[in-house]
Amino acid sequence: MQVNQLIKKIVFLDRVGLPERFSVRAPELDHQWDNYGSTLPEQVIERSVGADVLITNKVKITRETLLACPSVKHIAVAATGFNIIDIDACLELGVSVSNIPSYAATTVAEHVIASALCLRRQLLSYRQSVIDGKWQRSSSFCLFGEPINDLKNSSFAVIGFGELGRAAASMAAALGMRVIFSSRGKHQCEFAKQVSFEEAITTADIISVHCSLNAETLNLIAAPQLRKMQPHAILINTARGGIVNEADVVQAINDKLIGGISFDVLVEEPPSDYSPLLSIANFENVIITPHSAWASEQAMQRLADILADNVEAFLLGSPQNLVS
SS3 category, 315: helix
Q: Do 207 and 235 meet the contact criterion of CB atoms below 8 Å apart?
A: yes
Active-site position among 240, 246, 302, 312: 240
**Domain-embedded: residue 51:** yes
Q: What pLDDT sits at residue 2?
A: 41
Percent of the chain with pLDDT over 90: 94
Active-site position among 46, 198, 269, 297: 269
β-bridge mates for residue 61, sequence order? 85
For CA atoms 218, 223, 229, 231, the dihedral sign is positive
Q: What pLDDT sits at residue 255?
A: 98
**Domain-embedded: residue 3:** no
240 is an active site residue: yes
Confidence of residue 324 (pLDDT cuts 50, 70, 90): confident
Does the pLDDT at position 55 exceed 60? yes
- Consecutive H or E run containing 164: helix 163-174
**Domain-embedded: residue 195:** yes
- Give the pLDDT confidence of 281-310 residue by residue, as tens digits: 999 999 999 999 999 999 999 999 999 999
Instruction: Based on the fold, state whether residues 175 and 233 are members of the same structural domain.
Output: yes
Instruction: Based on the fold, state whether residues 266 and 118 are members of the same structural domain.
Output: yes
Q: Do 225 and 213 meet the contact criterion of CB atoms below 8 Å apart?
A: no
Percent of the chain with pLDDT over 70: 98
* pLDDT averaged over every residue in the chain: 95
- Contact residues for 205 (Cβ-Cβ < 8 A; gap 6+): 120, 149, 154, 155, 156, 230, 232, 233, 234
In terms of residue numbers, what domain contains 267? 105-288
Q: What pLDDT sits at residue 102?
A: 86
pTM above 0.85, yes or no: yes
**Would you state the torsion angle of the CA atoms of residues 67, 68, 70, 75, taken in this order, to the nearest 10 degrees?**
-80
- Consecutive H or E run containing 116: helix 105-120
92 is an active site residue: no
Around 316, how many Cα atoms within 13 Å sit in the side-chain half-sphere?
13
Instruction: Based on the fold, state whether residues 70 and 129 are members of the same structural domain.
Output: no
What is residue 260's DSSP assignment? E
- Give the pLDDT confidence of 101-110 residue by residue, as tens digits: 989 999 999 9
- Give the pLDDT confidence of 226-249 residue by residue, as tens digits: 999 999 999 999 999 999 999 999
42 is an active site residue: no
One-character DSSP codes across 38-53: ---GGGHHHHHTT-SE
Number of domain units in the chain:
2
Q: What pLDDT sits at residue 81?
A: 85
- Give the pLDDT confidence of 126-145 residue by residue, as tens digits: 999 999 999 999 999 999 99
Does the pLDDT at position 38 exceed 70? yes
Instruction: Based on the fold, state whether residues 77 and 193 are members of the same structural domain.
Output: no
Instruction: Based on the fold, state whether residues 124 and 157 are members of the same structural domain.
Output: yes
Strand ranges (E), the chain: 8-12, 31-35, 53-56, 74-77, 96-98, 155-159, 178-182, 193-194, 206-209, 234-237, 260-263, 286-288
Instruction: Based on the fold, state whether residues 196 and 240 are members of the same structural domain.
Output: yes
Instruction: Based on the fold, state whether residues 45 and 140 are members of the same structural domain.
Output: no
Q: What is the mean pLDDT of residues 152-168?
A: 97
Does the pLDDT at position 6 exceed 90? no
Confidence of residue 4 (pLDDT cuts 50, 70, 90): very low
d(CA 78, CA 92): 22
To the nearest 5 percent, what fractions of the chain are helix, strand and coil?
35, 15, 50
Instruction: Based on the fold, state whether residues 113 and 74 are members of the same structural domain.
Output: no
- Give the pLDDT confidence of 183-236 residue by residue, as tens digits: 999 999 999 999 999 999 999 999 999 998 989 999 999 999 999 999 999 999
- Give the pLDDT confidence of 241-271 residue by residue, as tens digits: 999 999 999 999 999 999 999 999 999 999 9
Q: Do 9 and 53 meet the contact criterion of CB atoms below 8 Å apart?
A: yes
Q: What pLDDT sits at residue 291?
A: 96
d(CA 148, CA 135): 16
Q: What pLDDT sits at residue 1?
A: 36
**Would you state the torsion angle of the CA atoms of residues 78, 83, 85, 91, taken in this order, to the nearest 10 degrees?**
110
Instruction: Based on the fold, state whether residues 167 and 254 are members of the same structural domain.
Output: yes
- Kindly calculate the radius of gyration of the chain based on its CA atoms and give it in whole angstroms: 22
Active-site position among 210, 291, 302, 312: 291
Instruction: Based on the fold, state whether residues 209 and 248 are members of the same structural domain.
Output: yes
Check which CATH number belongs to the domain holding 85 and give it. 3.40.50.720
Does the pLDDT at position 9 exceed 50? yes
